[in-house]
A = this chain, B = another copy of it.
Amino acid sequence: MELSELVAHLQQQAAAQKLRLHEKNVYRILSALLATSDFWQLIDYADVPVPTGVLIVRELEQQGYVTIDSENGIFLTDQGRELVEKFHLVAPVNAHCPACEGRGYAYWLDKEFYRRFIEIAKDRPKPLRNYDQASVTPETTVARVQMLKHLGDLHQKEIIVLGAEDDLTGLAIAMTRLARRVLILDIDDRLIEFDRTIIAELGLTNAEAHVFDLRQPLPDEWVGAFDVFITDPPETHSAFRAFVARGIATLRGEGYSGYFGLTLRDASIFRWQEFQRILLNDLGVVVTDIIRNFNHYMNWPYHSETLAARIAPVKQPPRTIWYRSFWYRIETLPGFTRWNEPIQTDALYLDEEGSTT
């Protein structure tokens, strides 16, 4: 079977599951197999959603290019190695800056702050499955704060954090004591309680935390009231509206900024194009930064209950960090839209491409 045939065949199967892929996704999986036999690292290297990765790996097995050992991982066969050579594929190379983990902003620039944040974060509530929680590493959270500082989005700014406070981004911002106001919203009362306790203990007068369900419209007093928003949505269309579009609605006017993560583990690059069109065409903003794999997520305790674990061709849980997302920054421009409608769905976290909730 030629690779073009294999890709065409895969695309048919993908379409039946409402998934999308192209030949480069297949090449990338094959390249990654030169570096790892671990399914989760494979997904990390290949930048495809888990269900798409499963589909490709299963088809490669079907065609005799890989063997799957559910205990030990995924391995190229001799036939697979021939295919890899035919297409001149080589193992992925890591050329990210080791000093900043490739983010461009170093978490260690303010060591004192980094250490204080880690001390606070050690007692944070454990991630919960029903809110799709998975915390980023402390290095990620601190690098987010550094980036805000670098871009003039921290000092004396009014900042709203919409959900994803399991990352403690709102708390970290408050801890700098540099923002004029930090408003932290999350649906999880454990996180809000945690933040409130620390805010009280540290005597942070500029920060407040509220339980809030982002499917609901924001109250008027928060619309058009902030300099900066920060969020980290699940990658469904409804969540993108609930988190990002609502974030944009909070901004004060033209030239104000927002930050959010988008992953390729629970959404395809095809979906990203849809999101980018929504940002540019419907919401009227401009994208100023997209930083690859800025956000590193610590493995979550409920992994074994996820769809990802159930459909994975191996039984091994992830042994290293494999879930990453890119960090977007946008700015509002004339004609931007303040969208703030209610969302009538329970399926905020899962769709055909998502699997890690």
From the candidates B22, B254, B286, name the one contacting A24 in the complex (CB within 8 A). Answer: B254
Return the contact of A100 from the options B28, B94, B104 (Cβ within 8 A).
B104
Contact (Cβ within 8 A) B289 A292: yes
The reply to whether B93 and A149 contact each other, CB–CB distance below 8 Å, is yes
Is A126 part of the binding interface, using a Cβ–Cβ cutoff of 8 Å? no
Chain B residues positioned under 8 Å from A255 (CB to CB):
22-25, 269
A187 CB within 8 Å of chain B: no
Chain A 139-151 per-residue mask, 1 if CB under 8 angstroms from chain B, else 0: 0000000110110
* A89 cross-chain contacts in B, Cβ below 8 A: 156
Within 8 Å of chain B (Cβ to Cβ): is A333? yes
Looking at A23, A96, A104, A292, the one whose CB has the most chain B CB atoms below 10 A away is A104
Partner of A291 from the list B25, B104, B109, B253 (CB cut-off 8 Å) is B104
Name the distance in Å between A283's Cβ and chain B's nearest Cβ.
Answer: 11
Asked if A273 is at the interface (CB within 8 A of a chain B CB), the reply is yes
Complex CA gap A280/B269 in Å reads 13
A326 CB contacts on chain B under 8 angstroms: 288-289
> Which residues 39-56 of A sit at the B interface, judged by CB distance below 8 A?
none
Hey, which chain B residues are within 8 Å of A114, CB to CB? Answer: none
- Inter-chain contact A103/B104, CB cutoff 8 Å: yes
Q: Is the CB of A287 within 8 A of B287?
A: yes
Beyond A104-B103, A150-B95, A290-B289, whether A269 also contacts B331 by CB under 8 A is: yes
- In chain A between 122 and 165, which residues have their CB closer than 8 angstroms to a CB of chain B? 146-147, 149-150, 152, 155-156
The minimal Cβ–Cβ distance linking A296 to chain B, given in whole angstroms, is 13
Chain B hits for A99, CB < 8 A: 97-100, 106
Chain B residues whose CB sits within 8 angstroms of the CB of A288 once the complex forms: 269, 272, 290, 292, 326
Nearest-CB distance from A154 to chain B (Å)? 8
Bound Cα distance A273, B331 (Å): 10
Most buried by B among A24, A253, A285, A291: A24
0/1 per residue, A267-298, Cβ < 8 Å to B?
00110110011001100011111111000000
List 20 additional contacts besides A95-B109, A290-B290; criterion CB under 8 Å: A22-B333, A23-B254, A23-B255, A24-B256, A24-B331, A88-B156, A93-B155, A95-B146, A95-B150, A96-B104, A97-B105, A98-B106, A100-B104, A104-B104, A269-B286, A273-B285, A273-B333, A276-B276, A280-B280, A288-B290
Residue pairs across A and B with Cβ atoms less than 8 A apart, 16 shown, are A24-B331, A93-B149, A93-B150, A93-B155, A95-B106, A96-B104, A97-B104, A99-B106, A100-B100, A270-B286, A272-B288, A273-B280, A273-B285, A288-B290, A289-B292, A289-B326
